[in-house]
Amino acid sequence: MKITEIEIFAIELPLIEPFIISYDTYPSMPSIIVKMTTDEGIIGYGESVPDEHVTGETWESTYAVLKNQLAPLMIGQDPMAFEKIHALMDKAVYQVPAAKAAIDIACFDIAGKKLDVPVYQLIGGRYHEKFPITHVLSIGTPEKMANEAEERVRQGYRSFKMKVGTEVLKDVERIQAVRERVGFDIAIRVDVNQGWENSSTTLRGLRALRDVDLDWLEQPVVADDIDAMVEIKSKTDIPLMIDEGLHGVKEMREIIAKRAADKVNIKLMKCGGIYPAMKLATMAEMAGIECQIGSMVESSVGSAAGFHVAFSKKIMTSVELTGPLKFSKDVGNLKYDVPFICLNERPGLGIDIDEAILQELCHYSHVVK
């Protein structure tokens, strides 16, 4: 089986409400969808959601590198030769993990459809039956975040990821307000997205949050300051998670060697897709570090790919792939049973693509043959 055609779509996914985090506000989510076709007529879909703050890639640059470098390189290749596919991409272009993720995901979708099995059967089989879904609270006033949390508890959610990362004491007020509103039976995870910048500011915040009972604190300091994470971990009993500080094998080696985190947030867009994500999960498992599959607010395509990874590994203890729940219109039909996600047993990614919506949301596209 050979890849014969790749169509690239630059789309914008409309959000129900703006997504606000420490370093940016997103009124809509830019995405690149890849449609890959083989000589056997099997079609697979992949997705890239780049973020210049995290992966160093923009929507425009990702479209260009797929169009001019990666997609032409894939024509004539076997989509089931995952190791070779990644070796070719890595030799052709340094880094650009989100762009490579789109190719990787489409290849796995095709392989599953070819063998008539879900993607998770290609990477270890299904370990988890279902995962609880964590609702993500965008940055807002303490009152607004508490109100939203209260409403989501009524809908059945039992855990929240709070986006913070502005001024540390104002963030403390936000966290305390949500805890007071929802009580102590609800899990709260706090994601600073690098916003507290350094260890001293972070430790000041943690002292003020001593009685709030956090599940964990995620990426409080700038991404490349692993040593600051080591210092914070040595001075608090609140579990620490690394997100932006982990991309690939190089960072994972350092995190393990320095015991810099209790948990790691693996994202397909940061590491290059399903195949590299499985390597990182295996490394973490060997070191006894729990893993989460996180979100760059992908559509049903990228979210389904992440779920297949999460469902296949015992070391995956949480997922936060809630992108499709945030969109007013999506290109796929990934199904949530809020507050849970239960994957189906259909081949490949297990989702259908609405070609009419794909065209509607598309700004421009290109076919590579």
| Residue of 67, 267, 270, 313 marked catalytic | 267
| Residue of 35, 163, 263, 313 marked catalytic | 163
Q: Which 3 state secondary structure label does DSSP give 34?
A: strand
Phi, psi of 103 (to 5 degrees): -65, -45
Q: Is the dihedral angle over the CA atoms 318, 149, 300, 351 positive or is it negative?
A: positive
CB hemisphere CA count around 138 (13 angstroms): 16
267 is a catalytic site residue: yes
Q: Which parts of the chain fold into alpha helices (H)?
A: 59-65, 71-74, 82-92, 97-115, 142-154, 168-182, 199-208, 226-234, 249-258, 268-271, 274-287, 300-312, 323-326, 355-361
DSSP string over 275-294: HHHHHHHHHHHHHT-EEEE-
* Closest C-alpha to 266, from 239, 286, 247: 247
Which residue type sits at 221? V
Tell the burial category of 24 from Cβ atoms under 10 Å away from its Cβ (0-12, 13-18, 19+): exposed
DSSP 104: H
The rounded distance, in Å, linking the Cα atoms of 37 and 34 is 10
163 is a catalytic site residue: yes
- Residues catalogued as catalytic: 163, 267
